[in-house]
Amino acid sequence: MNRNIITVPIHRVEPGSNASEQDLVAVEEPLQIRVGERDVAITMRTPGQDRELAAGFLFTEGLIQNAGQIVDIVSDDRGAVTVTLAEGVEVSIADRNFYVTSSCGVCGRASIDGLRAACPALPRGIPRVLARVISTLPDILRNSQPVFDHTGGLHAAALFDTDGKLTAVREDVGRHNAVDKLIGAAFLEGRIPLHNSILMLSGRISFELAQKALMAGIPMVAAVGAPSSLAIETALHFGMTLIGFVRGQRYNVYSGQERLLQ
């Protein structure tokens, strides 16, 4: 059984004391994602939900389009997950370079031009969400992070409905892995596109996270941290509502203000 938390010895230094103790830390281990006999990617992740992670990765990177293209997903105890596709389904990875660390996101197609052909259009003007709902999301997310409570070392991504009700949450040492696990679960359940969902992130909003939200049809992305310049440019181009620095009753809206109701 995969463990997502381990105990390690530490020396805790405090004023007037230097004691030997045990501490809990989040596990980071490599996962090899394979399609049939072909290696597609290596990602550094927190063990758990590996099937969702693989499906979410393949979908958000535009390699597959629907869950019906997948026959089976099998994970093993050696840090590999193998996706078997339906007969006749081909994925083109010859020009892709996937080595994914827990912090950098997917290296490769990193431009808005690369998204135009792959991403479906977001619905304009919907959903509509009361502005005060956004302020409630960080606390709900934080209270739904069981591994973070023990380690303080994981990112989280969550889906909320338009009333601010939590519908799903995933944690991982890599922020992009948390999003892939979240979207992968919805993808395998046939719930894509997520046009009536809000994606809430525990950290910053980078381009690759905006990309993954677009692939899943998520029209609203909020985070406790800052968006990057390319994430903002992407949101403006595709009509996504992008919200950063959600802290208390304050937050910044970088695009898509029309979806928020006062």
Q: Which structural domains are found in the chain, ordered by start?
A: 29-111 (3.10.20.10), 129-261 (3.40.140.10)
Convert the pLDDT of each residue in 113-124 to its tens digit: 777 777 778 999
DSSP state of 257: G
Whether the model clears a pTM of 0.75, i.e. scores above it, the answer is yes
Distance, CA of 201 to CA of 32 (rounded, Å): 25
d(C-alpha 114, C-alpha 227), whole Å: 20
Q: What is the pLDDT of residue 21?
A: 84
Q: Which of 36-50, 66-80, 99-113, 218-232 has the lowest mean pLDDT?
A: 99-113
The Cα–Cα gap between 183 and 174 comes to 14
C-alpha span between 194 and 212 (Å, rounded) = 12
For the record, the structure tokens of 184 come out as 């992968």
User: Contact 50/81 with Cβ under 8 angstroms?
Assistant: yes
pLDDT at 32 over 70: yes
Phi and psi, residue 226, nearest 5°:
-90, 150
The pLDDT of residue 48 is above 60: yes
Out of 71, 74, 104, 261, the active site residue is 104
Active site residue 119: no
Nearest-10 crossing angle of helices 207-215, 50-60: 90
pLDDT-derived band at 153 (thresholds 50, 70, 90) equals low
Q: Looking at the predicted structure, is the pLDDT value of residue 104 above 70? A: no
